[in-house]
Amino acid sequence: MSNLKLRDREAQREREREMAGRVVLHGMWASPYSMSVKLGLKVKGVEYEYVEEDLMNKSEVLLRLNPVHKKIPVLVHNGKPIAESLVIVEYIEETWKEGPPLLPQDPYERAKVRFWAGFLQRQLFEAMFSVVITDGEAQARAVKEGHEKLAVLEEGIKGGYPGGSPFISGGNLGLLDIVVCSILGAHKVHEEVLGVTYLDSEKYPRVTSWVKSLTELPLVKEAMPPNEKLVDFFQFFRARALESAAA
Amino acid sequence: MAKLKIIVSPTSFFCTRIEWALKLKGLEYELTFEDWSKGKSELLLRSNPAHKKVPVLLDDGVVIAESKVILEYIDEKWKGGDLYPLLPQDPYERAQARFWAQFADDKCFIGTWGACRAEDAQEKEKAVEAALESFTFLEKQIKGKKFFAGDKIGYLDLVAGWISHWLGVLEEAGGLKILDAERFPSLHEWAQNFAEIPPIKECLPPRDMLVNYWTALLSRLRSSAPSKL
C-alpha cells in the first residue's frame, strides 16, 4: 500500500476513534511525561487506546493535535485534545470521578502536591536530562545540580510528609507518586548508562524508600518499560545528543 | 484569625497576580516586602527553601509558593456561594486555562525576557521573532472574547495580566516592540480593558518604578555577563 493511502487510512481511523468518544493517548514509550499520563489513566481504570508517536518523524496527526508545542503526550477525549502532562492528569482526575482520587481533598495538601510535582518535573528532571546529554564539566555540574534538587526534595518530604511520603501515608497512588515514578523510577538505568547514583539511601532516605515502594507495585511494574530497553534508548539518545553538540 | 500575608517584591507581576486573586475573592491581606538590597530575608528562605522566590502566601500557619499553585489554592479554599470563581467549572475548560497559563508564562514572558536580554542584533531579532510567534498563539485565544475567561476575568486573565502593564515597560527597557496594536488587535484591546478593572488597576505598581527597576536590572546583567569567568 502506498504511503499516501496508509496515511489517509490512519487519519480516517483517528477521526473514527475521536468521534466515538474514546480516549486516545498519543505518547512515546520512553518519555516520563507520557508515563505520567499512562499511570494516571491506569490508576483511574480508564480504558484508552495508545498511539506510539515517532518523535524523529512527527505525524500529521500529532502536529494537528498539538500545534503549539508539537509534543507528546496528548490525550484526546470526545474529539478534543489536551496537552501538557500535569494538565492532562488533572483533567483525568476531574473527569473520571468514580475512580480512586489522584489528588487529596484539602486545598493545602493539593497545593503541596502541585508544588512538588512541578519541582520534580522542571527542576529535578531538567538536571537529570542535562546529565544524559552532556559530558565533561557540564555534566559534572548537572550531576551536582541533580543532587542539590534531591536534597531539597528530601527536606521537603521530611517537612511536608512526616509520615514518610504522600503514598505511604495515604495508601493511594496519587499525582505526586505518579510523577516520582516517571522521573526516578528508572534510576537504575541512569546508574548503568551514566554511572550516576541518584538514590543514595544515606543522603536521601525518604526519597529512596518512597521510590522503592512505588516501583514494587504491580501497576507500576507493568506500566514501566523494561530497563534493558531503556538502557539501549538512553545510550542511543546520549550518543546522538553529544554528536550534535560537537558538530 | 491570623491575616493572610504575601511575601512580595514590589516590581514582580507574579506577586501582583496573587493580590488580584485575593481582591476578587474579597479577602483582606498584608504585604511583606522583600528588600533585595539586603539579600533574601530569613522569612523567605524559611518559607520557600526550594525556590527562594516570591510570591509566598502565608495563610494561618500554612505556607504556599509558586504563583500558579497559589492561585489554585485560593480558588479551591474560597469557593462557592457568592465567591468569585477564578477557574471555570468544566474540566476541559479548566485544562485549557491551565495549558494557556503555562504557555503565557513559559513562552510569552520568557520569550519576551530573552529578547530583552539579547544584545547581539541577530540574536535579538531571532528572539523577537520567536516571542511574536508565541503572542500570535495567544491572540488566537482571545479573538472574539472580551476576556480569556469570557465576559468576566478569570485565572488566565490574571496570569496573562502582566501583558497589560509590565510588557510596555519591558519593551522600553529592552529596546523592542512586541504588542503592536495592528498585529495583535484583540490582545491589545484585552490589555486595555483588563487594566481598567478597579481591583486590577488598584494593584498596578507605578510605571516609572518598573521602568527604573527593569532598566537597571538589564544593564546590570549586561555589564556582568562577560566577567563571568
Most A CBs within 10 A among B66, B68, B105, B229, hence the mutation to make, goes to B66
Tell me where in chain B the CATH 1.20.1050.10 domain(s) lie. 91-224
Interchain pair A107, B103: CB under 8 A: no
What is the spatial distance between Cα A63 and Cα A74, in angstroms, rounded to a whole number?
11
- The whole-number pLDDT of residue B49 equals 81
Interchain pair A87, B50: CB under 8 A: no
Interchain pair B50, A115: CB under 8 A: yes
Interface of B with A in 49-88 (CB under 8 A): 49-51, 59, 62, 64-66, 69-70, 72-73, 76-77
Residue of B nearest to A151 (CA): B50
Interface of A with B in 121-140 (CB under 8 A): 123
User: B140 to chain A nearest CA, in Å?
Assistant: 12
Residues of chain A contacting B133 with CB distance shorter than 8 Å? none
- The whole-number pLDDT of residue A166 equals 67
Most B CBs within 10 A among A65, A94, A150, hence the mutation to make, goes to A94
Location of C-alpha cell 501497576: A219
Most B CBs within 10 A among A94, A108, A158, hence the mutation to make, goes to A108
pLDDT category, B51, cuts 50, 70, 90? Answer: confident
A108 CB within 8 Å of a chain B CB: yes
What is the spatial distance between Cα A131 and Cα A128, in angstroms, rounded to a whole number?
5
- The whole-number pLDDT of residue A164 equals 67
Tell me where in chain B the CATH 3.40.30.10 domain(s) lie. 4-77
Q: Is the peptide bond before B88 cis (omega within 30 degrees of 0)?
A: no
pLDDT category, B228, cuts 50, 70, 90? Answer: very low
- The whole-number pLDDT of residue A6 equals 80
User: A5 to chain B nearest CA, in Å?
Assistant: 32
Residues of chain A contacting B98 with CB distance shorter than 8 Å? 84, 87, 90
Note the helical H segments in chain A.
Answer: 3-19, 32-44, 60-65, 85-95, 107-119, 125-133, 136-160, 166-170, 175-184, 187-194, 205-216, 218-223, 227-246
Cell (9 digits) for A158: 521530611
Amino acid at B176: L
A151 CB within 8 Å of a chain B CB: no
Q: Is the pLDDT of residue B155 over 60?
A: yes
Q: Is the pLDDT of residue B83 over 90?
A: yes
- The whole-number pLDDT of residue B229 equals 36
- The whole-number pLDDT of residue A19 equals 61
Q: Cβ(A85)–Cβ(A121) under 8 Å?
A: yes
pLDDT string in tens for chain A (247-residue length): 567 778 888 887 777 665 656 899 999 999 999 999 999 999 999 999 999 999 999 999 999 999 999 999 999 999 999 999 999 999 999 999 988 999 999 999 999 999 999 999 999 999 999 999 999 999 999 999 999 999 999 999 998 887 766 665 456 799 999 999 999 999 999 999 999 999 999 999 999 999 999 999 999 999 999 999 999 999 999 999 999 988 7
Q: Cβ(A243)–Cβ(A201) under 8 Å?
A: no
Interchain pair A115, B77: CB under 8 A: no
**HSE-CB for A152 with a 13 A CA cutoff:** 20
Q: Cβ(A102)–Cβ(A178) under 8 Å?
A: yes
The DSSP element (H or E) to which B102 belongs, if any, is: helix B91-103
Q: Is the pLDDT of residue B186 over 60?
A: yes
Region at A105 (left for phi over 0; alpha for psi -120 to 50; beta for the rest):
alpha
CB-CB neighbours of B54 under 10 Å: 25
What is the spatial distance between Cα A6 and Cα A49, in angstroms, rounded to a whole number?
19
A148 CB within 8 Å of a chain B CB: no
What is the spatial distance between Cα B24 and Cα B79, in angstroms, rounded to a whole number?
11
- The whole-number pLDDT of residue A170 equals 56
Q: Cβ(B94)–Cβ(A86) under 8 Å?
A: no
Topology of B4-77 in CATH?
A: Glutaredoxin (3.40.30)
CB-CB neighbours of B38 under 10 Å: 7
B136 CB within 8 Å of a chain A CB: no
- The whole-number pLDDT of residue B2 equals 67
- Residue in A80, A108, A156 closest to B50 by CB: A156
Q: Is the pLDDT of residue B1 over 70?
A: no
Residues of chain A contacting B50 with CB distance shorter than 8 Å? 115, 119, 123, 152, 156
- Would you give the DSSP letter of residue A121? I
**Rounded (5°) CA angle A217-A222-A225:** 115
Right CATH for B91-224 from 3.40.50.620, 3.30.70.20, 3.30.70.100, 1.20.1050.10:
1.20.1050.10
**ipTM attached to this prediction:** 0.94
- Residue in B49, B62, B99 closest to A155 by CB: B49
